[in-house]
Structure 1
């Protein structure tokens, strides 16, 4: 079974479901025009993300950079312990607003 990532807006948050990994982030990033709206801040829910790797963290860092250029904020809600550990180890904890 191949890795999959889907998204939907749920209670004013962009909710990702599936895997936020090297296998899925390239397609998700190419489709960002479909899931980037005019929300400020953009709240991203990771509650239904089953697996994340450094590529997933890198995509969220790139998203943060993009949003800052648009004078918008990124807020990450409900990250898994795995996500928090990768963010801490990579030194990205100060860059991503994880709640």
Structure 2
């Protein structure tokens, strides 16, 4: 997320809270109750956002994790392409040997 995105989201939340207050006042709710309900709405929204952030972080579905996976895949693909046929055959033989040892246990 860019800095301008964070600023925009912050301003959007500020405007949403003010709009909720104004709408409640227009409906006829008194000052104190309108303020309380607009804060409740913002608090529930914040809790929802925190939960969604937590699920994305735990599930590794965040931009950083995706970019890192793409980088690692591209890095290993490049390294694989740089191997000579002899090196590749040697690595494949080692993998097969490790599989056979793993299956025996």
TM-score class normalised by the smaller sequence: under 0.3
Instruction: Indicate the structure with greater strand content.
Output: 1
Question: TM-score under structure 1 normalisation?
Answer: 0.24
Q: Which has the higher helix share?
A: 2
TM-score norm. by structure 2 comes to 0.23
